[in-house]
Structure 1
Amino acid sequence: MAVYQYDVVVIGTGPAGESAALNAAKKGKRVAVVESRGVVGGNCTHMGTIPSKALRHAVKQIIEFNTNPMFRDIGEPRWFSFPRVLKRAEQVIAKQVQMRTNFYARNRIDVFFGSARFQDANTVQVKGNAGKGDEVLQADSFVLATGSRPFCPDDIDFRHPRIYNSDSILKLSHTPRTIIIYGAGVIGCEYASIFSGLGVKVDLIDTRDRLLSFLDYQISDALSYHLRNNGVVIRHSEQYASVKGSDTGVVMTLKSGKKIRADAFLWCNGRTGNTDDMGLEDIGLQPNSRGQVEVDEHYRTTVPGIYAVGDVIGWPSLASAAYDQGRSATSDMLNALDFRYINEVPTGIYTIPEISSVGKTEEELTAAKIPYEVGQAFFKDTARAQITGEQVGMVKILFHRETLALLGIHCFGDQASEIVHIGQAIMRQEGEANTLEYFVNTTFNYPTMAEAYRVAAMNGLNRIFNIS
């Protein structure tokens, strides 16, 4: 059994693991990564962010073609199957794997494919894939970046060919006419948009009383409206009693007594950290009931020299945050000056239309008794949106009534996840640079979507002037 010595070993090659490994290597350390798949990229590349967003983009293009009157001169509306659309995602995944494989090669990071299990706090054994022999890696420090997988309750038979979770749905080989999506979190809402965009009738079961309650209420309401407008039936405050599959469909019985039937069922309710069979308990690490590892504000676990980052530590469970967490963990590990705790993360939700926000919501500011005002601009009133035909959505700015400091940016509509970064950049400035006046006193290209910030800022100032 071969034994290898390293300064840092990273387990997992998703965004968190990749950035941790690259940062340590660029700081002069000898680094190895362990990946349980046969290729790098982690769940983000193969099962989560990349395939779902590629799917969403393709569906959005189909919707545009089928609803834009200009395209009727070319031909009649077209129907596309789920497997056909999925091929686009597979092309993107292949490009991502090639690019990320090159990252490790260029930075001289050794990659081991197999399952890692701790023998002690400084040693992991890698059980190789495809019958390859075991290898032992020893290091002063380790980073756990193993990601997460869908939480699947035992009372639902996920082996049934009509019952899926948010990973296995990417193996769907046909397009159902109807589907039940259980769980109306970010993943559930995104897939509701994707399937409804393909003409599938969707029942979206929400265990809470409103969609994505962490969002600003106006944005959450807008999402509910547009999902319903696309034919999605949203059922709030419901819990499942049973899910039974047959040769002809799936029947879900709710605790409220309702029974819903569909051709397929998609479970999108919670995720579990990938910490099984890693021997963590043997070295003094005890994951919680959802397989997550507890860390402090430097991403250190309770075992010296072992860090954890990304989905395996829970909130915020975003690829963007995971990448920064990985880099910060190895910076702390190596006593570098560029460490920062990741606590200001923009939300990006790739529904149709998409959503993004950063900072406080109206509810949070009201509860904190902070005197705020609202400035808003609707895309339908901007020239660029009228030109592109993407007129659904808005930019909403929350700011302090007295200092004009920016408190929150909320965006709904086409390219929302891009547009929000303008507001985020200004919010991070110090002093007078972080005020509503920046948008008023800055000349934006015309016509652009960014111009919505100026319109929203003027709208907000007018509210103050009218009161004062």
Structure 2
Amino acid sequence: MNTSSGWDLVVIGSGPAGEAAAMRAAKGGMRVAMVEDQPQVGGSCTHLGTIPSKAFRHQVRQLVRHRRNPLLQGVRDLPEIGWPQLLSRVNEVIGAQVQVRSGFYFRNRIQVFNGRGRISGEGRVLVTDEHEREWLLETRNILLATGSRPYHPDDVDFSHPRVYDSDTILTMTHTPRNIIIYGAGVIGCEYASILTGLGMRVDLVNNREHLLDFLDTEISDALSYHLREQGATIRHGEEYEEVLPDDDGVTLVLASGKRLRADALLWSNGRSGNSQQLGLETVGLEPNSRGQLQVDERYQTSVPGIYAVGDLIGWPSLASASYDQGRFCVSMMCGDPERAVSNVPTGIYTIPGISSLGPTEQQLTEAKIPYEVGQAFFKNLARAQITGERAGMLKLLFHRDTLELLGIHCFGYQATEIVHVGQAIMSQPAPNNTIAYFINTTFNYPTMAEAYRVAAINGINRLRR
């Protein structure tokens, strides 16, 4: 065993949270070591989750646009694109991301230890690589950023070649004719729109009564409509009873008595924190039932000098928020004031996409806040007509008296980009956080951002009735 001492910070996990923490620490003059159990840096975000799924989504969206292009109607002999062909392009994106991120560590002189890291006592991290070689790293601080993995119930055989989760779906080597997706959360809805775009018949099984019920009801209803239009069958309020895979496919037996049959099953019902085999017991730390750790406002666990960020601590479990958590955590180690991750926009990469920030109409109504609505329907925007992306809308919620922008809810083309225009205004101190900005500002034309001006004028006109 090799012993290496004098580290200021050892980070376990090179996903967004760990990477941001390591870079901030290096910029702050700390001596930093990164421990990553995969051969390449980037974590599940780069190799299994955010980057691959969004790269898949982009390629499928291009295929859908290609099919709908009036100029190509009637053109024959278009190449047939399936899952394996898409996967090759996705791997190119992953490789490019790894190259960029590897450069970050090299330029900032952060040593990367490839192997599984575990705490072996306070201020001690033991790293074991695939050849059973070991390094003992002695450090002042330990930051756990090990992310999460798909939740696996014990009664589902995930070793069967026709049963996938949101990680192993990337290993699929064929294009099923039909597939069952169990779990209609963000990941389930994203993959439902991707797979229907490839022409698969999709059964989306939701154990709740509405899709993504944390969204504004109008946006949730729009998502349901478009998934059905694309060919998905949505089954609400259903719980699984049994999963029966065989050589020819999978049968999902539901508690209601229904039996669904398909070529494959994608399980997307929740995630668990990667807290196993971290040696937490050596310092008296115990994760909750979902494998997550409790931290304080400085992202410190109950053990001084041991911190946790990202999916390992639960909400909001977004790559964007995880990155900021890692950065803010180390900033506080360096003496900066406490800073919490707040005003995190929701970004859902369905086809069309969804993004929102702030309370919904339902929440404002329950809070008895007098609000009004401004809407811009994309079908009326020149840019949407040019691109052919007419489905969708931007909804602005604002205070009737002060015009303060309270909420942004967007469904459609570039929704995850558009939301940031409104986010910038919402973050301004009063009186600069009102929809008056959108009315008094000149937007490029034609653009999707112009929807803010249209929605703001629509809202103001409602007040004048």
Task: Indicate the TM-score class for this superposition, using the shorter chain for normalisation.
Answer: over 0.9
Structure 2: segments with no counterpart, 5+ residues: none
2:133 equivalent to 1:133: yes
Distance 2:213 2:77 in 1: 39
Distance 2:122 2:221 in 1: 49
What secondary structure sits across from 1:395 in the alignment? strand
**Corresponding residue number in structure 1 for 2:385:** 386
Distance 1:79 1:357 in 2: 35
Give 1:452's aligned amino acid.
A
**Corresponding residue number in structure 2 for 1:147:** 147
Give 1:64's aligned amino acid.
R
Per the TM alignment, residue 72 of structure 1 is displaced from its structure 2 partner at its CA by: 3.0
Per the TM alignment, residue 78 of structure 1 is displaced from its structure 2 partner at its CA by: 4.5
**Corresponding residue number in structure 2 for 1:115:** 116
Q: TM-score, normalised by structure 1?
A: 0.98
**Corresponding residue number in structure 2 for 1:292:** 292
**Corresponding residue number in structure 2 for 1:18:** 19
Contact kept in structure 2, 1:300 and 1:306, CA below 8 Å:
yes
Structure 1: segments with no counterpart, 5+ residues: none
Distance 1:289 1:275 in 2: 11
Give 1:319's aligned amino acid.
A
1:196-248 deviation line (CA, Å, top 9, x unaligned): 00000000000100000011111000000000001100000100000010111
Q: Percent identity at matched positions?
A: 61
Give 2:47's aligned amino acid.
H
What secondary structure sits across from 1:25 in the alignment? helix
Per the TM alignment, residue 4 of structure 1 is displaced from its structure 2 partner at its CA by: 1.1
**Corresponding residue number in structure 1 for 2:342:** 343
Give 2:434's aligned amino acid.
T
Contact kept in structure 2, 1:66 and 1:78, CA below 8 Å:
no
Question: Counterparts in 2 of 1:243-254, with a 5 A limit?
Answer: 243-254=243-254
**Corresponding residue number in structure 2 for 1:82:** 83
2:424 equivalent to 1:413: no
What secondary structure sits across from 1:335 in the alignment? coil
Per the TM alignment, residue 296 of structure 1 is displaced from its structure 2 partner at its CA by: 1.4
Per the TM alignment, residue 332 of structure 1 is displaced from its structure 2 partner at its CA by: 1.3
**Corresponding residue number in structure 2 for 1:232:** 232
Per the TM alignment, residue 76 of structure 1 is displaced from its structure 2 partner at its CA by: 5.0
Per the TM alignment, residue 336 of structure 1 is displaced from its structure 2 partner at its CA by: 2.0
Distance 2:58 2:356 in 1: 20
**Corresponding residue number in structure 2 for 1:425:** 424
2:439 equivalent to 1:446: no
Distance 1:325 1:110 in 2: 22
Distance 1:189 1:373 in 2: 29
Distance 2:285 2:72 in 1: 58
Give 1:303's aligned amino acid.
V
Give 1:328's aligned amino acid.
F
**Corresponding residue number in structure 2 for 1:94:** 95
Give 1:172's aligned amino acid.
M
What secondary structure sits across from 1:34 in the alignment? strand
**Corresponding residue number in structure 1 for 2:162:** 162
**Corresponding residue number in structure 1 for 2:172:** 172
2:326 equivalent to 1:326: yes
Distance 1:85 1:38 in 2: 23
Distance 2:305 2:363 in 1: 37
Per the TM alignment, residue 80 of structure 1 is displaced from its structure 2 partner at its CA by: 1.2
Question: Counterparts in 2 of 1:249-328, with a 5 A limit?
Answer: 249-328=249-328
1:239-273 deviation line (CA, Å, top 9, x unaligned): 00000101111000000000000000000000011
Distance 1:71 1:345 in 2: 40
Contact kept in structure 2, 1:373 and 1:401, CA below 8 Å:
yes
Give 1:370's aligned amino acid.
I
Give 2:451's aligned amino acid.
A
Distance 2:397 2:297 in 1: 28
Per the TM alignment, residue 3 of structure 1 is displaced from its structure 2 partner at its CA by: 1.0
What secondary structure sits across from 2:464 in the alignment? helix
Give 2:330's aligned amino acid.
T
**Corresponding residue number in structure 1 for 2:35:** 34
Contact kept in structure 2, 1:50 and 1:93, CA below 8 Å:
yes
Distance 2:142 2:439 in 1: 49
Contact kept in structure 2, 1:79 and 1:198, CA below 8 Å:
no
Per the TM alignment, residue 121 of structure 1 is displaced from its structure 2 partner at its CA by: 1.4
**Corresponding residue number in structure 1 for 2:70:** 69
Per the TM alignment, residue 379 of structure 1 is displaced from its structure 2 partner at its CA by: 0.4
Give 1:203's aligned amino acid.
D
Contact kept in structure 2, 1:374 and 1:396, CA below 8 Å:
yes
**Corresponding residue number in structure 2 for 1:200:** 200
Distance 1:331 1:368 in 2: 35
**Corresponding residue number in structure 2 for 1:7:** 8
Contact kept in structure 2, 1:10 and 1:32, CA below 8 Å:
yes
Per the TM alignment, residue 74 of structure 1 is displaced from its structure 2 partner at its CA by: 5.1
1:347-403 deviation line (CA, Å, top 9, x unaligned): 000000000011111111111111100000000001111111111111100000000
**Corresponding residue number in structure 1 for 2:186:** 186
**Corresponding residue number in structure 1 for 2:371:** 372
What secondary structure sits across from 1:433 in the alignment? coil
Q: TM-score, normalised by structure 2?
A: 0.99
Distance 2:159 2:30 in 1: 44
**Corresponding residue number in structure 1 for 2:54:** 53
Per the TM alignment, residue 77 of structure 1 is displaced from its structure 2 partner at its CA by: 5.1
Deviation larger for 56-65 or 290-299: 290-299
TM-align CA RMSD: 1.0
Distance 1:453 1:47 in 2: 35
